[in-house]
Amino acid sequence: MKTCKDSIDVLLQYLDGELPAEDAAALESHLGCCTPCVEFLRTYRATTHLCKRALAQKMPESVTASLDAFLKERLGK
Ligand SMILES: [Zn+2]
Average pLDDT per run of 10 along the chain, which is 77 residues long?
83 89 94 91 83 72 79 79
35-54 burial string, b = 16+ CB within 10 Å, else e?
eebeebbeeeeeeeeeeeee
Q: Which residues contact residue 13 at a Cβ distance below 8 angstroms, ignoring those fewer than 6 apart?
A: 19, 23
Q: Which residues surround the ion ligand 1 when the cut-off is CB under 5 Å?
A: 4, 34, 37
DSSP 59: S
Amino acid 22: pLDDT = 94
In total, how many domains does the chain have?
1
> What is residue 59's predicted lDDT score, i.e. its pLDDT?
67
Range of the structural domain that residue 55 is part of: 4-75
5 alpha carbon to ligand 1 midpoint, in Å?
A: 7
Q: What is the reported pLDDT for 19?
A: 94
pTM: 0.58
Q: What is the pLDDT of residue 77?
A: 60
Task: Report CA(23)–ligand 1 centroid distance (Å).
Answer: 14
**Amino acid 53: pLDDT:** 76
